[in-house]
Chain A
């Protein structure tokens, strides 16, 4: 697996590179801030980006959001000392493929990254529990649309107008694959089977209205 590392602590990066190379990951590069993470991800086309949150210029969560919209197939795993629910939930809302703490042992870390090859999410059982509890809480509260990012809501409004993925892609100046990725996430977050059900929930909860023209989005 080809990896890019984004962390502002170069000594930490050096250590991570050693661990990854020993586990036969191919490290393509290292950067120290979110802006460089974006430009290097575009240039190097890694399969996996390991990214810290607190970095200068642009933090890891902002970079994650931008990269996931642009490169939905890129796996991004947040690697941080932050154990806060806010960071965890925001990262997952922005499409992170994992959220790992730097307090993990090297073996746990490598095992969780290996799981990405099987399309698993790289989170510990403790993190998974927190995410499940949060999901349960949101379902009880009834506002499933609250889980959607601003971009997903924007896209859902276009879906409601009856546009195809290709037409939505043109409208938003993104690739059809990006639209497909967002639609898949929307269906998953709303726990529905198709676009019609998703639109019905959004209408019911007032996220979109029947007469809202897409041009105003």
Chain B
């Protein structure tokens, strides 16, 4: 499965280093580094049709960009990976969307394994 990965970063060395590392493993992945400070950032992300967006929470420009829910609402099945280098953890947010017409719809989501 093709994963379109966007690294959103204004800290070039971090982003380019991570990109280089990921390219060694994700040969088929379309990987793109986008600087959130540029005026075309949102268009560039849209053009990439990402399934994954990665950013560093200590990179204030990228973090403020990604705290906008626009990204999650704009791309179905997007996973937003927030890396916190201080705690060496990452938090994964998803934009997955389900219908919610009956209680069973809720139960389906509740009982569904997190990483199906």
Contact = CB atoms under 8 A, between A and B. Distances in A.
Contacts, number: 56
B88 A10 contact: yes
Given A10-B88, A11-B88, A109 B21 contact: no
A14 interface: yes
Nearest to B83: A11
A15 B88 contact: no
Interface string B1-15: 000000000111110
B13 A16 contact: yes
Contacts of A14: 17-18, 21
A105 interface: yes
B27 to A, nearest CB: 15
A44 interface: no
Interface string B78-116: 000001011010000000000000000000000000000
B49 to A, nearest CB: 24
A18 B88 contact: no
Interface in B13-42: 13-14, 16-21, 24
Interface in B42-69: none
A81 B11 contact: yes
A100 to B, nearest CB: 8
Contact of B12 (A17, A18, A22, A106): A106
Given A9-B85, A10-B88, A11-B85, A103 B13 contact: yes
A102 B21 CA distance: 17
Nearest to A10: B88
Interface residues of B, number: 16
Contact of B20 (A9, A11, A19, A103): A19
B41 to A, nearest CB: 16
B21 A15 contact: yes
A104 B20 CA distance: 15
A15 B16 contact: yes
Nearest to B14: A12
Given A9-B85, A11-B85, A11-B88, A16 B17 contact: yes
Given A11-B85, A19-B13, 11 more contacts: A9-B86, A12-B17, A12-B85, A15-B21, A18-B21, A19-B16, A81-B11, A102-B14, A106-B12, A106-B20, A109-B13
15 contacts: A9-B86, A9-B88, A12-B17, A14-B21, A15-B16, A15-B17, A15-B19, A16-B13, A18-B20, A102-B11, A102-B12, A102-B13, A106-B12, A106-B16, A106-B20
Interface of B: 10-14, 16-21, 24, 83, 85-86, 88
Interface of A: 9-12, 14-19, 22, 79, 81, 102-106, 109
